Amino acid sequence: MLDSISHCFNETVMPKDTHILIVEDEPAIRMGLIDVFVYHGYQVDFADNGEEGLEKALTGQFDLILLDVMLPGINGFDICNRIREQSRDQAIIMLTAKGGDEDIIKGLSLGADDYVSKPFSVAQLVLRVQAVLRRSQSESEQNTTIILDDDYTIDCLNLSGKAGAETLSFTRREIDLLQYLHAHSERPVSREELLHKVWGYANDVDLETRTVDIHVAKLRRKIEKDSSAPAFLVTVRGAGYRLHSQADNE
C-alpha cells in the first residue's frame, strides 16, 4: 500500500514536526491513514470514537484534524462544532459518505476547511491535506480591516466583525477568502484561483470540490443584508466572485 501511494506526495512537503489527529472508527481506513502519514514523517495521533476524538481535539496541539462524520458516541459534526467554539484557526478536513451533499454542506457550514468523500482516492486526500496545511502555515493577506460599508466592518486579525450592533464570528478560512477577494477587488476571481491562493492547491491539480461555493454561501449569510441578493460578495457569471466594499466607491 505504501509503495503504491508514495508518489502521491508533492516534492515540497510539510515540516516533519507536523502533527495530525485522525478520528476514524473504521479500523482498515484508520490504520491505512496512519501508515501513510507516519511513513512520510508526520506525527500522528488517532481516536476511534467520538468521545476520545473530541477530548484529544480540544486538549492537544494539532496542525490538522482528519475527522470522520459517522462516529460512535459523538458524531463528527458535533466535534467540529465544539472545536470551532474553542478555536477558529484549527485546520479541519471532514471525511464524508460518498455523494453525501448534505453532509458536505453541513460540515463546511460548521467550519471545516475542506472535505473528502468516501470512498476516497488516497492521492486526492493527500493533496487536500497538504494544501490545507500549506495555507494554514503561511501568512495571510496584509489588510487587517475590511470595511464593506458604514454598517459592516471585519476585523481580520481577531476573526470577528460588526453588522450594525451585531457581532460576527469568522473562521480562519473565511477570513483568508475575504482578504484575498478584498486584495483583488478590482476584478472577479475565479474558483480555480481561490483554490490555489486561499486553499493552497497546486494550479495543475484537478480536484472535484464545492468548498469555494459553500464557503461563499456561508459568508453571504453573515455579511449580506439579503444573502439571496448579495450586494458585497457577488457572482460574476462565467468569471468567479468579486467583493465590493465602501473603498470601491471612494
Q: In terms of domains, do 27 and 130 share one?
A: yes
Q: In terms of domains, do 177 and 116 share one?
A: no
- Cell of residue 248, nine digits: 470601491
What is residue 176's three-state secondary structure?
Answer: helix
Q: Which of 83, 118, 136 is the last residue of a domain?
A: 136
Q: In terms of domains, do 94 and 119 share one?
A: yes
Inter-CA distances, 109 with 150, 171, 181, 212, 218, Å: 27, 10, 20, 12, 6
The per-residue pLDDT for 247 is 57
The per-residue pLDDT for 4 is 41
The CB density around residue 181, as the number of other CB atoms within 10 Å, is: 26
Q: In terms of domains, do 6 and 122 share one?
A: yes
DSSP-assigned letter for residue 150: S
Q: From CA 189, how far away is CA 177, in angstroms rounded?
A: 11
Contact 246, 149 (CB under 8 A): yes
Contact 44, 34 (CB under 8 A): yes
Q: In terms of domains, do 16 and 126 share one?
A: yes
Q: In terms of domains, do 113 and 162 share one?
A: no
Q: In terms of domains, do 18 and 89 share one?
A: yes
Nearest to 170 by CA among 162, 160, 180, 158: 160
Number of domain units in the chain = 2
Contact 100, 121 (CB under 8 A): no
Q: In terms of domains, do 42 and 101 share one?
A: yes
The CA radius of gyration of the chain, in Å to the nearest whole number, is 18
DSSP-assigned letter for residue 189: B
- CA angle (117 as vertex; 44, 5 as ends), nearest 5: 55
Confidence (pTM): 0.71
The per-residue pLDDT for 58 is 96
Q: Which of 96, 113, 136 is the last residue of a domain?
A: 136
Q: In terms of domains, do 18 and 110 share one?
A: yes
Q: From CA 10, how far away is CA 99, in angstroms rounded?
A: 27
**Domain extent at residue 227:** 145-249
The per-residue pLDDT for 139 is 52
The per-residue pLDDT for 143 is 67
CATH number at residue 80: 3.40.50.2300
The per-residue pLDDT for 130 is 85
- Give pLDDT tens digits along the chain (250 positions): 333 444 444 444 445 589 999 999 999 999 999 998 888 778 999 999 999 999 999 999 999 999 999 999 999 999 999 999 999 889 999 998 766 677 788 888 888 988 888 888 888 888 888 888 877 665 555 568 999 998 899 999 888 999 988 999 998 889 999 999 999 999 999 999 998 888 887 776 666 678 899 899 999 999 998 988 999 999 999 999 999 986 555 4
Q: Are strands 233-236 and 166-169 parallel, antiparallel or unpaired?
A: unpaired
- Cell of residue 102, nine digits: 448534505
Q: In terms of domains, do 189 and 225 share one?
A: yes
Q: In terms of domains, do 94 and 160 share one?
A: no
Nearest to 182 by CA among 151, 210, 154: 154
Q: Which of 109, 136, 163 is the last residue of a domain?
A: 136
